[in-house]
Copies of this chain bind each other. A is one copy, B any other.
Amino acid sequence: MSTDYKTRAGQEFDRAAFESLMKRKNFYWQSFEPHGPVKGLFDYGHPLATLEAQFLTLWRDHFVRKERMQELKCAMITPYNVFKTSGHVDKFADYMCKDPKTGEILRADHLIKDVLEARLKSDKEARGEKVEEAVEDPKKKKKASKAAKTAVKLDDQVRKDYEFLLATLDDYTGEDMGTLIKKHDIRSPITGNEVEPPVSVNLMFQTQIGATGKEPAFLRPETAQGQFLSFQHLLEYNDSKMPFASASIGYSFRNELSPRSGLLRVREFLMAEIEHYVDPESGKKHPNFSRVRDVKLPLLSRQTQSEGGSTPTVASIGEAVKTRLVDNETLGYFLVRIKLFMDRIGVDPAKLRFRQHMANEMAHYATDCWDCELLTSYGWIECVGCADRSAYDLSVHMQATGQPLNVRETLKEPVRVEEFQAQLNKKKAGPKFKQDAGKVQSALDALTQDIREKLSLELEKEGKVEIDVPAMEKVTLDKDIVDISKQTRTVTTREYIPNVIEPSFGIGRILYSLMEHAYWTRENDVARSVMSFKPTVAPIKVLVVPLQKDARFNPLIQELEDALDDRSLSFDTDTSGVSIGKRYSRNDELGIPCGITIDYQSLEDGTYTLRDRDSTKQVRAKLEDVLDAIERMVRGRETWEDVQKRLPAFESQDKEEKE
């Protein structure tokens, strides 16, 4: 694979070597291997499971505690109605084409993209143009290239058509794609067979609650809906004050049809989602924005992308919000907090960018969206999405259930307003609609003034009107059961449905990227790999190594282990017979940041050497000083450079480079 992707030390990134380390050191593996591994499901071994636990501790500290969010945990198994209402039952789907001869399932958009790109590439070759090697997905490229083994030149018009198609593919419906596949004779790149027309396949895992089969349910594909449905609890807990945020760390599920790219596209995954609720009329200001105004971010704007560029502009968030490149303060504030978090866990700043969504990537109601993307050997990967979900979700659930999911605010001064009211006669509506009366009233409440005016006239003329009530049939309302008329009233409260700004973290993707960013090999020895995790996130903090096998070291080992336990510092002790250099080297692959050597001088004067994993430099000091230094590095209060300034350097008696 030819790629520009480099390790932190500037070396060619060798994915095979990296994956071999991941396997050798038990970072992760495919689940249920003895029974035949299952695609898209992975187990984390000790190093990665522990890295994730440390990640979560820092995430809670950085977001939940520091921003005083309300953490909550919602159920994963979710009844049908919730996702019917949110739109996921109808829209959370991919279009699939079946190869009728092999039974293989192909994602329709991937199929079209792969085939057309292959034809364009072949055309370029035939025209003798330079062919760019995309790094995005080497597997895909390989497949697609099978379909175009000899260079074939296309008509100029066909070439233009293809380019236009590829640029606009995201807007195509399933039917559109079916037509397109026929028209351009798009076939399976693997078998060359014609494929069946695209069918929509929902990506949620289905199950059912209870034994009766009457309660269909899904495993949630996002944690957001549970948060929205808890809005009244959250608002109450916040003493009805706005704005505020809820946050949830939890699992979501996607029944991917052909998972690929290792940990980057999996079937069950841990997310952390923040839902920040704001008054839509507040201008989406953020109270702490002034504290971050000068932080600079690499921003790849929609405009730059549409002009074919891919180089981000570095700008302060203050400037970006002022020029409306970033839509509002709250969105900008979160972009900065995300960047600071990524720095804190040790993401390579040169491999991070914020990419603005193109218009066709956003939901129709969204005003602005930015993804935090991290560069990996698979290309730029979306790791945090910052979306503006407007009032969409709260509104649809409120309409479907008739339950309040809004804010009621007392006005400073009462206001007199003249407007069309649409009100059920409760005495008559109650017996008629029973538990649905609330839904009917909610539907009336949702009508605009224009429509109320129209209905008022109709009611007068016809004696009845017909309205749409979500989750019910069309409902006919007689004159005696509904009143729609212009009225003057004094308003003392204002009701509104909050807008939601949602930073959504894909934790598995961030961890995978972080591991690629941490990986490098020692100069002059590619076999000696190092995982340079920051002490704050490193799965194991300390390596204890006696210089050699000698029973006199045993009491010191025990004393040291007890002292580490007292400070809750995790450690491994390597007492195997191999040289000290080799022992350090094989534990560098686990990313253990601090090494303590017990040697003969320790027996005499109670001093120990402390080794830094990245530089392999050492200092020597009394046990308490060594442990203090480690504790400060692990808590993020001090760096190795600080420690080196305080404690005397030590030259190793067993040069590592000789090993």
Chain A residues at the B interface, C-beta cutoff of 8 Å: 25-26, 29, 31-36, 38, 40-46, 48-50, 52-53, 56-57, 60-61, 64-66, 68, 70-79, 81-82, 85, 96, 103, 105, 201, 205-212, 215, 219, 226, 229-230, 233-234, 236-237, 239, 251, 253, 255, 257, 267-268, 397-398, 400-401, 403, 405, 565, 568, 570, 572, 576
Contact = CB atoms under 8 A, between A and B. Distances in A.
A87 to B, nearest CB: 15
Nearest to A103: B212
A268 B255 CA distance: 20
B207 A207 contact: yes
B45 A209 contact: no
Contacts of A212: 103, 105
A75 B34 contact: no
A253 B568 contact: no
B74 A50 contact: no
B38 A237 contact: no
A255 B43 contact: no
A621 B60 CA distance: 30
A41 B210 CA distance: 12
Contacts of A60: 53
A405 B34 contact: yes
A74 B268 CA distance: 10
B32 A75 contact: yes
Contacts of A48: 73
A207 B40 CA distance: 15
A570 B66 CA distance: 8
Nearest to A25: B237
B209 A207 contact: no
Contact of A57 (B57, B68, B74, B79): B57
B72 A43 contact: yes
Q: Can you tell how many copies of this chain the complex includes?
A: 2
Contacts of A405: 34
Nearest to A539: B71
Contacts of A397: 34-35
Contacts of A33: 229-230, 403
Nearest to A80: B35
Given A45-B72, A75-B41, A32 B82 contact: yes
B255 A38 contact: no
Contact of A568 (B25, B65, B72): B65
B46 A70 contact: yes
A454 to B, nearest CB: 30
B210 A35 contact: no
A74 B251 contact: no
Contacts of A233: 26, 29, 43, 45
B50 A71 contact: yes
Given A211-B257, A219-B207, A255-B209, A75 B43 contact: yes
Nearest to A572: B68
A41 B64 CA distance: 24
A78 B43 contact: no
Residue among A34, A65, A234 with max Cβ neighbours from chain B (10 Å):
A34
Given A34-B397, A103-B212, 9 more contacts: A26-B233, A26-B236, A31-B229, A35-B229, A43-B72, A43-B233, A75-B268, A76-B268, A77-B205
A389 to B, nearest CB: 17
Contacts of A43: 72-75, 226, 230, 233
Contacts of A230: 29, 33, 43, 45
B226 A32 contact: yes
A568 B32 contact: no
A47 B236 CA distance: 14
A478 to B, nearest CB: 29
Contacts of A79: 32, 35, 38
Output the residue of A71, A212, A215 with the most chain B CB within 10 A. Answer: A71
B32 A229 contact: yes
Contacts of A31: 74-75, 78, 226, 229
A206 B207 contact: yes
A416 to B, nearest CB: 30
A606 to B, nearest CB: 24
Contacts of A403: 33-34
